[in-house]
């Protein structure tokens, strides 16, 4: 009766887990990126790259915020907009109106130690229900928005207003960048496998946040830090890669660390970027980051590793990560785990953990 499960397959294939092998033959959605633009080594170009890249198959605007309430409690918030092209965009009017091949998916969530509230919105492109414009910067799906409040002459992402709401929860946050945009990988070209799959990838990890969360218990004023990831590609994963574990860490001393492990049948592929407090990124070689799951928790019928050890020997980093709420499961079309964490060990701080592909 309902379209959602099939949509889930579709989006799953197109965005997050192209390696879900059984479905590779799907209409125009094989693992090949035929007809789509491919990532290449080129400098990032702002503000154009803040906007959508409809020639690429997939793209996202991915914001996570670690927050502290006026009540002293830890919170996390997520605002994400995914874009998927069902097929390469034909030139001319075919790309407009209902015929547009673009599909959009929004996820919003609020996490506390006891609750994890998540919601999803779906839209097709071409009519304006969802979209992203570069100047002035605005990303939206339905009434969920991420809008630039930057002063003229400054980068569009330097100040943002982000809001989303669903029946049970909502939030409105004001974000101010306190550091520069950070190019991931080689000047924004991020390699995703030993075979050379890659994406365009940059971040703004230095947001200061103020705002309000609406929870079932009532409203709570919050402050904290946020991290925006921008990534687009046409074929981000190798055929044998089944999912990833992705970490964004804010060290108490002001440094940042982005790291991920792409899982495959063997040792997996890890990559990391060390970001100094002044925003200078250092791309670490594959394998420099070691991640080890320590304990799993059973959530939504799956065993998900929520406690981790992270080691980056060349920087003297050896961390233990623990989630604010181990049940931060996103029960959406493409289910995954996404929630705030705290870490201790050689260093301490807060961050976000995302885990996909746990069946």
Binding site for other proteins (CB under 8 A): 1-7, 9-10, 26-29, 86-87, 94, 97-99, 103, 122-124, 127-129, 140, 142-143, 165, 167
* Pick 66 or 109: Cβ nearer other proteins: 109
CA distance 129 to 105: 11
* Pick 143 or 331: Cβ nearer other proteins: 143
* Pick 35 or 180: Cβ nearer other proteins: 35
* Pick 103 or 183: Cβ nearer other proteins: 103
Token readout for 75 is 């919170």
Q: What is the DSSP letter of 101?
A: -
In this structure, is the dihedral angle defined by the CA atoms of residues 257, 60, 342 and 252, taken in order, positive or negative? positive
CB of 51 to other proteins, least distance (A): 18
CB of 212 to other proteins, least distance (A): 17
Token readout for 49 is 């790259």
CB of 332 to other proteins, least distance (A): 13
CA distance 179 to 54: 28
Q: From residue 61, how far is each of 16, 113, 201, 253 by CA, in Å?
A: 14, 25, 11, 26
* Pick 128 or 316: Cβ nearer other proteins: 128
* Pick 32 or 303: Cβ nearer other proteins: 32
Cα 65–Cα 111–Cα 338 angle in degrees, nearest 5: 70
In this structure, is the dihedral angle defined by the CA atoms of residues 49, 50, 54 and 59, taken in order, positive or negative? positive
Residues in the chain: 359
CB of 34 to other proteins, least distance (A): 15
Closest CA to 102 of 81, 122, 87, 90: 87
CB of 170 to other proteins, least distance (A): 10
CA distance 114 to 307: 17
CB of 2 to other proteins, least distance (A): 5
């Amino acid at each position: 009766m309902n379209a959602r499960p099939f949509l889930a397959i579709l989006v799953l294939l197109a965005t997050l887990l192209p390696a879900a092998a059984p479905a590779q033959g799907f209409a125009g959605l094989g693992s090949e990126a035929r007809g789509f633009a491919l990532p290449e080594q080129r400098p990032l170009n702002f503000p154009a790259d803040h906007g959508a890249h409809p020639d690429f198959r997939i793209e996202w605007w991915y914001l996570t915020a670690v927050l502290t309430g006026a009540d002293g409690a830890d919170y996390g918030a997520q605002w994400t907009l995914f874009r998927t092209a069902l097929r390469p965009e034909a030139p001319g009017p075919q790309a407009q109106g209902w015929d547009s091949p673009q599909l959009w998916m929004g996820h919003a969530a609020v996490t506390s130690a006891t609750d994890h509230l998540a919601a999803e919105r779906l839209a097709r492109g071409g009519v304006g229900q969802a979209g992203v414009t570069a100047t002035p910067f605005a990303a939206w799906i339905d009434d969920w928005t991420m809008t630039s409040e930057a002063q003229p002459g400054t980068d569009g992402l330097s100040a943002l207003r982000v809001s989303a709401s669903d029946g049970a929860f909502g939030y409105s946050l004001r974000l101010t960048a306190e550091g520069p945009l950070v190019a991931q990988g080689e000047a924004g070209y991020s390699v995703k496998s030993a075979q050379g799959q890659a994406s365009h990838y940059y971040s703004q990890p230095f947001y200061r946040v103020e705002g309000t969360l609406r929870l079932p218990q009532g409203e709570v004023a919050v402050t904290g830090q946020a991290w925006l990831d921008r990534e687009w590609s046409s074929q981000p994963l190798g055929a044998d890669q089944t999912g990833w574990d992705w970490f964004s860490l804010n060290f108490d001393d002001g440094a940042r660390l982005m790291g991920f492990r792409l899982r495959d049948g063997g040792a997996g592929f890890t990559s990391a970027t060390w970001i100094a407090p002044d925003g200078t990124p250092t791309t670490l070689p594959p394998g420099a980051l070691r991640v080890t799951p320590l304990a799993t928790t059973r959530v939504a019928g799956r065993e998900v590793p929520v406690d981790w050890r992270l080691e980056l020997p060349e920087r003297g980093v050896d961390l233990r990560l623990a989630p604010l709420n181990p049940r931060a499961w996103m029960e959406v079309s493409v289910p995954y785990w996404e929630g705030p964490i705290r870490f201790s060990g050689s260093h301490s701080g807060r961050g976000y953990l995302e885990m996909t592909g746990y069946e």
